[in-house]
Protein backbone atom coordinates (compact mmCIF):
# COMPACT_ATOMS: atom_id res chain seq x y z
CA UNK A 1 0.00 0.00 0.00
CA UNK A 2 1.26 3.45 -0.91
CA UNK A 3 0.78 6.46 1.35
CA UNK A 4 0.98 10.16 0.64
CA UNK A 5 1.32 12.98 3.15
CA UNK A 6 -1.56 15.45 3.04
CA UNK A 7 -1.94 18.72 4.90
CA UNK A 8 -5.20 19.06 6.86
CA UNK A 9 -6.25 22.66 7.36
CA UNK A 10 -9.11 25.01 8.03
CA UNK A 11 -8.92 28.75 7.70
CA UNK A 12 -11.48 30.74 9.70
CA UNK A 13 -14.89 30.72 8.01
CA UNK A 14 -13.97 28.12 5.39
CA UNK A 15 -14.35 24.41 4.77
CA UNK A 16 -11.90 21.86 6.10
CA UNK A 17 -9.44 20.88 3.41
CA UNK A 18 -6.60 18.51 2.63
CA UNK A 19 -3.98 19.16 -0.05
CA UNK A 20 -0.93 17.18 -1.06
CA UNK A 21 2.51 18.78 -1.38
CA UNK A 22 3.67 16.30 -4.01
CA UNK A 23 0.36 15.76 -5.82
CA UNK A 24 -0.35 19.29 -7.09
CA UNK A 25 -4.00 20.04 -7.71
CA UNK A 26 -5.36 17.17 -5.64
CA UNK A 27 -7.53 18.52 -2.85
CA UNK A 28 -10.52 17.46 -0.79
CA UNK A 29 -12.85 19.80 1.09
CA UNK A 30 -15.84 19.31 3.36
CA UNK A 31 -17.76 21.11 6.11
CA UNK A 32 -16.30 18.96 8.91
CA UNK A 33 -12.93 17.49 9.70
CA UNK A 34 -14.41 13.98 9.82
CA UNK A 35 -16.01 14.37 6.38
CA UNK A 36 -12.85 15.63 4.71
CA UNK A 37 -10.82 12.79 6.23
CA UNK A 38 -13.43 10.32 4.93
CA UNK A 39 -13.30 11.85 1.43
CA UNK A 40 -9.59 12.40 1.02
CA UNK A 41 -8.55 8.77 0.34
CA UNK A 42 -11.00 8.27 -2.53
CA UNK A 43 -10.18 11.75 -3.90
CA UNK A 44 -6.47 10.94 -3.93
CA UNK A 45 -7.05 7.54 -5.55
CA UNK A 46 -9.20 9.13 -8.25
CA UNK A 47 -6.63 11.85 -8.92
CA UNK A 48 -3.80 9.33 -9.20
CA UNK A 49 -5.90 7.09 -11.46
CA UNK A 50 -6.56 10.05 -13.76
CA UNK A 51 -2.83 10.77 -13.93
CA UNK A 52 -2.06 7.14 -14.72
CA UNK A 53 -4.85 6.86 -17.28
CA UNK A 54 -3.57 10.03 -18.94
CA UNK A 55 -0.17 8.41 -19.36
CA UNK A 56 1.56 10.42 -16.64
CA UNK A 57 3.83 8.91 -14.04
CA UNK A 58 2.54 8.82 -10.49
CA UNK A 59 4.39 11.17 -8.18
CA UNK A 60 6.54 9.22 -5.76
CA UNK A 61 5.40 9.46 -2.15
CA UNK A 62 7.64 11.54 0.12
CA UNK A 63 8.28 11.28 3.82
CA UNK A 64 7.27 13.98 6.26
CA UNK A 65 10.94 14.92 6.58
CA UNK A 66 11.18 15.48 2.82
CA UNK A 67 7.95 17.46 2.70
CA UNK A 68 9.01 19.68 5.58
CA UNK A 69 11.84 20.95 3.37
CA UNK A 70 9.28 22.76 1.19
CA UNK A 71 8.95 26.34 2.43
CA UNK A 72 5.22 26.55 1.83
CA UNK A 73 4.67 23.31 3.79
CA UNK A 74 6.67 24.72 6.69
CA UNK A 75 4.54 27.85 6.50
CA UNK A 76 1.33 25.78 6.64
CA UNK A 77 2.60 23.72 9.58
CA UNK A 78 3.63 26.94 11.32
CA UNK A 79 0.02 28.12 11.05
CA UNK A 80 -1.13 24.99 12.88
CA UNK A 81 -2.14 22.89 9.89
CA UNK A 82 -1.54 19.18 10.40
CA UNK A 83 0.18 16.57 8.23
CA UNK A 84 -1.82 13.37 7.79
CA UNK A 85 -0.96 10.07 6.14
CA UNK A 86 -3.39 9.07 3.39
CA UNK A 87 -3.02 5.47 2.21
CA UNK A 88 -3.96 4.39 -1.30
CA UNK A 89 -4.27 0.69 -2.07
CA UNK A 90 -2.66 -0.36 -5.34
CA UNK A 91 -5.95 -2.00 -6.31
CA UNK A 92 -7.65 1.40 -6.12
CA UNK A 93 -5.30 2.54 -8.86
CA UNK A 94 -5.18 -0.61 -10.96
CA UNK A 95 -1.39 -0.31 -10.79
CA UNK A 96 -0.09 -3.64 -9.57
CA UNK A 97 -2.62 -5.79 -11.39
CA UNK A 98 -2.15 -4.32 -14.85
CA UNK A 99 -5.89 -3.96 -15.41
CA UNK A 100 -7.38 -1.38 -17.75
CA UNK A 101 -10.47 0.75 -17.12
CA UNK A 102 -12.78 -1.77 -18.83
CA UNK A 103 -11.59 -4.52 -16.51
CA UNK A 104 -12.11 -2.31 -13.43
CA UNK A 105 -15.63 -1.50 -14.64
CA UNK A 106 -16.38 -5.21 -14.91
CA UNK A 107 -14.89 -5.78 -11.45
CA UNK A 108 -17.05 -2.95 -10.07
CA UNK A 109 -20.22 -4.40 -11.63
CA UNK A 110 -19.71 -7.90 -10.19
CA UNK A 111 -19.71 -6.92 -6.50
CA UNK A 112 -22.79 -4.73 -6.94
CA UNK A 113 -24.72 -7.83 -7.99
CA UNK A 114 -23.61 -9.54 -4.76
CA UNK A 115 -24.02 -6.53 -2.48
CA UNK A 116 -20.28 -6.21 -1.88
CA UNK A 117 -17.74 -3.41 -2.25
CA UNK A 118 -14.86 -3.74 -4.73
CA UNK A 119 -12.37 -4.60 -1.95
CA UNK A 120 -14.83 -7.10 -0.45
CA UNK A 121 -15.37 -8.76 -3.81
CA UNK A 122 -11.66 -8.94 -4.61
CA UNK A 123 -10.92 -10.31 -1.12
CA UNK A 124 -13.67 -12.95 -1.47
CA UNK A 125 -12.51 -13.96 -4.95
CA UNK A 126 -8.86 -14.23 -3.93
CA UNK A 127 -9.70 -16.27 -0.84
CA UNK A 128 -11.85 -18.63 -2.94
CA UNK A 129 -8.90 -19.20 -5.27
CA UNK A 130 -6.46 -19.75 -2.41
CA UNK A 131 -8.68 -22.08 -0.39
CA UNK A 132 -10.45 -23.86 -3.23
Identify the three-state secondary structure at position 3. strand
108 strand-pairing partners: none
Q: Let me know whether 110 and 130 are in one domain.
A: yes
Q: Let me know whether 47 and 68 are in one domain.
A: yes
Number of domains forming the structure of the chain: 2
Cα 103 to chain centroid, rounded = 20
Identify the three-state secondary structure at position 108. helix
Q: Let me know whether 79 and 108 are in one domain.
A: no
pTM above 0.85, yes or no: no
Task: Render pLDDT for 46-91 as a digit per residue (tens, 0 to 9).
Answer: 898 888 878 888 888 899 999 999 999 999 999 999 999 998 865 5
Q: Let me know whether 76 and 132 are in one domain.
A: no
Q: Let me know whether 31 and 86 are in one domain.
A: yes
Identify the three-state secondary structure at position 46. helix
Residues spanned by the domain of 126: 99-132
Amino acid sequence: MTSYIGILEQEAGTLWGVWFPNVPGCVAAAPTRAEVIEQVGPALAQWLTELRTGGESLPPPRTIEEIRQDGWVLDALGKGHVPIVVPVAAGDLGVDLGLDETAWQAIDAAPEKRGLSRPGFVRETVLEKIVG
